[in-house]
A and B are shown apart, each in its own frame.
Chain A
Amino acid sequence: MGPQHPSTHGVLRVKLKLDGERVIGSECIIGYLHRGVEKIAENRTYQQFAPYVDRMDYVAAVSSGLGYCEAVEKLLVVEAPPRARVIRTILTELQRIASHLLWLGTHALDIGALTPLFYCFREREEILKIFEKYCGARLTTHAFRIGGLQYEAYDTLEKDVERFCKDFESRIVEYETLLTQNRIWIGRTKGVGILTAADAIAFGVTGPVLRASGVKWDIRKAMPYAAYDQYKFEIPVGTTGDTYDRYLVRMEEMRQSRLICLQAIENIPSGPIMGKVGKVLKPPPGEVYHAIEAPKGEIGYYIVSDGTVQPYRVHIRPPSFINLQAFDRMVRGHLVADVVAIIGTIDIVLGEVDR
């Protein structure tokens, strides 16, 4: 299957070993989109590399950008000011909603439900408009800078976010009426691609996929970054770890992200948006590993500095790449038609798998 199959969300090739219609083995062939970002990083300065990380998970660029900026800040031993942290949190949570919406639309489309796509893109458009107003870009935003923010929040940011959040409450209900009790949807997703908690941990799976298997773990709670320690939110977990559970977990996550946004816009602290970092960044020699909770799971940056303006080594731990490894475990014993549902439910972006 693939690499040009529309349901593989990019250029993923899957070799399937079949017994009739049943899958008895699989192998993922990846690398079609490999651009060598880790090598590129070694030939750029710290700031110059920041836009590249947006091009890995290009549907959640804000999240990758946040992870990179915070990792370099840790390496420099500086902190972004409170105002910058809150604005970062708002934009990152909007990005999580946008990423989940794109997932929901395409995942439902793969399984045969055409309608949710249009609804999801309608709301996603509103979020992209907010990004565009904030930094001029919709997809590869490069919204944050090392040490804080480049742009001050525009005048009506709070209002825009508030309006979106108000509308969005009833919109999630709309998606749910289309899918949650839908007999075809339940038939196609319940019991499909079960991943037990033990397997999920063994395969290093993170994000909504791990939580749907019943592990209550979210880096926003476990090791808070940005301004997440100030807000109240729940971590939704599933019970069986099947495709339907992963659907429910992501739906609830969107609700929680909405709540975080509403809490955050209530009180955006005033003050500077840029921390004390120089124009030329020369982090002291040493290394750091910093991970954040991206929409798809743990995105980690392992950066080694040798004291020069260029990173000695940047390694990115992409959630899509690691989560895709569990695909083989999830797909065995299912029908060929379920393969499409399982690829969709892991929520991969090939730009991030291949880097």
Chain B
Amino acid sequence: MADESKEPKPPHVPTGDKPASSTPPVSTPSGKPADASEPAAPRKPPAPAAPKPPVVLQTPLDNEFVTRFRAKFGAALLQAMEDRKQAILVVERARLMEIALHLRDDEKFDMLSDLTAVDWPKRDKRFEVVLNVYSFAKNERLRVKVLAADAEEVPSVVGVWPTANWQEREVFDMFGIVFSGHPDLKRILLPDEWQGYPLRKDYDILQQDAAWVRENLGIESGQ
């Protein structure tokens, strides 16, 4: 997550405390253009408030819970971070089932609030499957992510949280991610004969399933 998000927008990269040098970053997000380039105002740059240090939103997460988790799963924990104070763990796909059971039984994350996916076509593992779990006992949320390339299967967590059933079907419907071990993996919102997976980034909304539209609605295009 973090490395990708850094690419498109360098100004936001958490660079830590920059020493108050005379030249503020050229493209501060707030975009005050007149700060440094104007020779007429040489006294401005040293002003303490002018170059705002970029707000650090993504920080590595390292607390008791993560230490416990790392001790148990070691290398299966690929990354632990916080984004806007929300905890995120990136874990190995193959061990998801084991990890899910551990989270539910030992860490008391008894409810799966939400399960979805995000498509990043340019990465070598294009799909992120995102599980949002909640613990009643701790009143805490946690986000668990696994990465999957095209045509790679993700273990289904229906056995751990039955609510995942429809949510995994929706992810299959929209992204075409196959969940291995799912009891009844089929489309849920779209018609069964639909071609393509609409929430993939390369699904062209104008080039939708024209054949289905023609056949079932009797018009050339849905657009």
| A interface residues, Cβ below 8 angstroms from B | 30-31, 34, 36, 38-39, 43, 74-75, 77, 201-205, 215, 217, 222-223, 282, 284-289, 291, 298, 300, 302, 304, 306-308, 312-313, 315, 317, 321-322, 325, 354-355
Contacts and interface: CB of A to CB of B under 8 A. Distances in A.
Given A285-B9, A288-B83, A307-B5, 4 more contacts: A30-B188, A284-B29, A308-B8, A354-B189
A202 B57 contact: no
A285 B11 CA distance: 11
Q: What is the size category of the interface that chain B forms with chain A? A: 35 or more
A215 B163 contact: no
B57 A38 contact: no
Interface string B183-196: 00001111100000
Contact of B161 (A31, A204, A317): A204
Nearest to A290: B86
Given A30-B189, A77-B84, A306 B114 contact: no
A38 B199 contact: yes
A304 B84 CA distance: 12
B114 A315 contact: yes
Contacts of B110: 201
Interface string B177-215: 000000000011111000000110000010000000000
A31 B143 contact: no
Contacts of B69: none
Contacts of A308: 8
A282 B12 CA distance: 11
Contacts of B84: 74-75, 77, 286, 288
A332 to B, nearest CB: 14
B193 to A, nearest CB: 13
Contacts of B52: none
B65 interface: no
